[in-house]
């Protein structure tokens, strides 16, 4: 199978050029100017071609909570948002604490053939906060472990988990929340656990990835840790960049203006590695009952492009690095760059298109967003996975 993307602006973490992209058998074979091949052709005039996005932090709710989302609707929402790879969290029902649920999720993804998926396994069995034996049963398909949604409360358990992760070449994704403190001070709750886990990562030599960092203090601790050579990486969400002093229910909460400035500075200076959505779809009833989270896959790019690139904080190259190259590297994928031999996963974007976010147009079952009615720039026109157009929002294709 062959496809030629013509007349686009080609942007990834290292390049910004005008030209064409030729994909054959699912891989990028060539890119540059004046490529002429008789095959299926996509006219990308006035569009930007970037590596499709990779999300390190997503909840698809299957199995157990499919009234909120399922692997099909989540995958379709991902494609509409420009994503072809997502990393799913373990807070399903039953909790993903072993290969049985991993097998189910990966099998479902293969059957649907829409996007690629990694399924994270819980740090502690069934989120019980103490049992780690199941970590010794995981095979090489599992790269991340996380008790996201709860966090590992016990110092000893986290220390032991990091030792196991180091020895088994796993990365711990940490949800930083001290449950004894959070109802008193959410900022202290996040900061104290961030400092604990950075210290334990340095002590054990394990890889630590900090999820949805939201405070200026945490960003500063991460910056220090990186300078000391500790194996820590981190992510921030679009909603923690775009909002401040807002009471929309998310966990961690929306912070203050100073925190947003600190997050953006962390993005500018390289402290922040990844932008991840923490896509957390809920039913309207669950949201009314106080369930925290945002349905974020379909709005992520336009929000961060508008708030970071349009405002001059970072370049489009840096945004591509945050949304594609860096998560691809951290996950060991052959994705995230427009480079010969890489997977032909491309997103076509109209950067000049002004759009009004409309939650009723979401493909996701979750319509929970604080951005309904917000004006942003940058519309996803098409999402291509291994040379196949999986989402088409209006691109012209000549099938020859």
Distances (CA, A) of 206 to 25, 191, 200, 241, 334: 37, 20, 8, 28, 23
Handedness of CA 200, 202, 207, 212 (dihedral sign): positive
Q: Is 136 helix (H, G, I), strand (E, B) or coil?
A: helix
Q: Are 13 and 5 in contact (CB under 8 A)?
A: no
Catalytic residue among 273, 278, 343, 350: 278
Report the alpha-carbon distance of residue 123 to residue 200 in Å, rounded. Answer: 15
Which DSSP string do the residues of 181-222 spell out, in sequence order?
A: TTTT-HHHHHHHHHHHHHHHHHHHT-EEEE-S---HHHHHHH
Using CB atoms within 10 Å of the CB of residue 137, give its burial: 0 to 12 exposed, 13 to 18 middle, 19+ buried.
exposed
What are the residue ranges of helices labelled H in the chain? 71-80, 99-112, 155-167, 186-204, 216-227, 238-242, 257-269, 284-288, 300-304, 316-320, 326-330
| Strand partners for 392 | 382
Single out the residue of 295, 394, 386 nearest to residue 346, CA to CA: 386
- Catalytic residue check, 278: yes
Distance CA 41, CA 219 (A): 45
Query: 395 with 381: CB under 8 angstroms?
Result: yes
DSSP helix/strand/coil, 371: coil
Nearest to 348 by CA among 4, 36, 5, 3: 5
Task: Please list the active-site residues.
Answer: 278
């Amino acid at each position: 199978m062959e496809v030629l993307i013509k007349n686009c602006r080609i942007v990834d973490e290292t390049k910004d050029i005008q030209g064409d992209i030729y994909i054959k058998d699912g891989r990028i074979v060539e890119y540059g100017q004046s490529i002429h091949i008789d095959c299926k052709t996509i006219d990308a005039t006035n569009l930007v071609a970037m590596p499709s996005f990779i999300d390190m932090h997503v909840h698809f709710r299957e199995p157990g909570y499919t009234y909120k989302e399922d692997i099909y609707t989540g995958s379709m929402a991902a494609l509409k948002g420009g994503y072809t790879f997502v990393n799913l969290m373990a807070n399903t029902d039953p909790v993903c604490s072993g290969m049985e649920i991993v097998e189910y999720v990966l099998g479902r993804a293969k059957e649907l053939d829409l996007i690629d998926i990694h399924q994270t396994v819980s740090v502690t069995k069934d989120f019980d906060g103490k049992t780690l034996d199941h970590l010794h049963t995981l095979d090489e398909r599992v790269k991340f472990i996380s008790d996201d949604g709860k966090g590992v409360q016990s110092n000893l358990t986290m220390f032991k988990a990091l030792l196991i992760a180091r020895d088994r070449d796993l990365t711990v994704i940490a949800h930083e929340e001290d449950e004894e403190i959070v109802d008193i001070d959410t900022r202290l709750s996040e900061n104290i656990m961030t400092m604990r886990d950075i210290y334990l990562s340095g002590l054990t030599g394990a890889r630590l990835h900090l999820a949805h960092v939201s405070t200026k203090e945490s960003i500063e601790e991460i910056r220090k840790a990186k300078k000391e050579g500790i194996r820590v990486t981190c992510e921030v969400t679009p909603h923690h960049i775009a909002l401040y002093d807002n009471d929309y229910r998310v966990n961690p909460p929306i912070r203050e203006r100073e925190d947003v400035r600190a997050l953006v500075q962390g993005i500018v200076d390289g402290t922040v590695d990844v932008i991840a959505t923490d896509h957390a779809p809920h039913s309207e009833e669950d949201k009314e009952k106080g369930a925290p989270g945002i349905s974020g896959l379909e709005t992520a790019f336009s929000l961060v492009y508008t708030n970071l690139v349009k405002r001059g904080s970072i370049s489009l190259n840096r945004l591509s690095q945050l949304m594609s190259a860096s998560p691809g590297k951290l996950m060991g994928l052959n994705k995230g760059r427009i480079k010969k031999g890489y997977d032909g996963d491309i997103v076509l974007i109209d950067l000049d298109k002004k759009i009004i976010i409309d939650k009723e147009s979401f493909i996701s079952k979750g319509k929970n967003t604080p951005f309904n009615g917000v004006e942003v720039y940058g519309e996803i026109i098409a999402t291509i996975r291994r040379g196949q157009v999986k989402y088409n929002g209006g691109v012209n294709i000549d099938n020859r």
